[in-house]
Amino acid sequence: MRAVLFAALLLLAACGPQIGNLERGEEGRVVRVFAGDTLLLEDGTRVFLAEIDAPSGEAPYAAQSQGELEALVLHREVLLTYGGERRWVGRPREGDEAPREAAIAHVFVKSEGGRWFWLQHELVSRGAAYVRARPKNHARAAELLAVEQRARAAERGMWGQRAYRPLTARTAARAAIEANANCTRGDAPFRVVEGRIAEAQVFDRRASLRMEGAADPSFSVVLFGESFSGWDGPDLETLTGAKVRVRGTLGVFHDQPQLCIDHSSQLEVITD
């Protein structure tokens, strides 16, 4: 029986990573990690982990997230796979000869025992990262959100920290004002907010969902750009009065606190 089991494990390892409907990409070895969601391969390729983010900078649990990522991937062989937009291109910094570029990939890691595992799944299940799908990268959002829900329920990792417990509209407004950030920037704080929508307003190029419980200043969930034009979630105009759980980045615009969402997977209608 042991021989049969051992043979089955060897066969599974020999089959390589189980990438499903993702498209196979480059292979490499990780030589460095940044924060809890970015890798550097030995050939110089920078890799953003698709569909997730992790606390960074001075945010609570940022150091632990980076430590989890280092323990999982540093000096190990990885396979990049793709389920959406493959490359991010940013403006060149002063002195750069070319624009900055990074791969946006789902990453599979080969462990010391030869077993391949899906990195995003492992990080989210440990509470070391949270799900953040984008309009052009959301192939595995539903699966990852289910994993995150279990991690939150068990208060694993970052979800055991007071800072990442769901906020009310009132406390979210205070947190946004305190952060005083642009919610579209990478350093804007990520939070989960629960409450009821007092008024859903849909315009030509954006939508604003004003939340109950934060009158002065008011607090709204907003979406615009590709997040608005590519919306495939519930009809926004029907959400007035709905109880929701939303996840995104906090910011301030024209002195008004808000939370920005990138994709429909970040808004959940809660049924009583």
Digit-by-digit pLDDT tens for the chain (272 residues) are 455 444 444 444 446 899 999 999 999 999 999 999 999 999 999 999 999 999 998 889 999 999 999 999 999 999 999 999 999 988 776 666 667 899 999 999 999 889 999 999 999 999 999 999 999 999 999 999 999 999 999 999 999 999 899 999 999 999 999 999 998 887 789 999 999 999 999 999 999 999 999 877 899 999 999 999 999 999 999 999 999 999 999 999 999 999 999 999 999 999 86
Which pLDDT score is estimated for 95? 62
Which tokens in the block code for residue 49? 């982990």
205 and 138, same domain (yes or no): no
Task: Mark which of 125, 160, 195 sits at the end of a domain.
Answer: 160
- How many angstroms separate the CA atoms of 58 and 246, rounded? 23
142 and 201, same domain (yes or no): no
- CATH code of the domain containing 134: 2.40.50.90
145 and 218, same domain (yes or no): no
Task: Mark which of 160, 193, 228 sits at the end of a domain.
Answer: 160
Which pLDDT score is estimated for 271? 85
Q: How far is CA 2 from CA 116, 123, 241, in A?
A: 21, 31, 59
Cis amide leading into 166 (omega within 30): no
Which pLDDT score is estimated for 102? 96
Task: Mark which of 112, 133, 160 sits at the end of a domain.
Answer: 160
- CATH code of the domain containing 173: 2.40.50.140
19 and 101, same domain (yes or no): yes
70 and 7, same domain (yes or no): yes
Which pLDDT score is estimated for 15? 61
154 and 40, same domain (yes or no): yes
Look up residue 63 and give its amino acid.
Answer: A
Number of domains composing the chain? 2
* Residue pair 87/104 in contact by the 8 Å Cβ criterion: yes
82 and 102, same domain (yes or no): yes
202 and 247, same domain (yes or no): yes
Cβ neighbourhood burial of 196 (10 Å; 0-12, 13-18, 19+): middle
171 and 155, same domain (yes or no): no
Structural domain of 242: 166-269
265 and 237, same domain (yes or no): yes
Q: Which residues contact 244 (CB under 8 A, 6 or more apart)?
A: 194, 195, 196, 197, 209, 221, 267, 268, 269, 270
147 and 60, same domain (yes or no): yes
149 and 204, same domain (yes or no): no
User: Rounded to a whole number, what is the distance in angstroms from the first to the last CA of the chain?
Assistant: 50
Q: Where are the beta strands (DSSP E) in 70-143?
A: 77-82, 87-90, 100-110, 116-118, 130-131
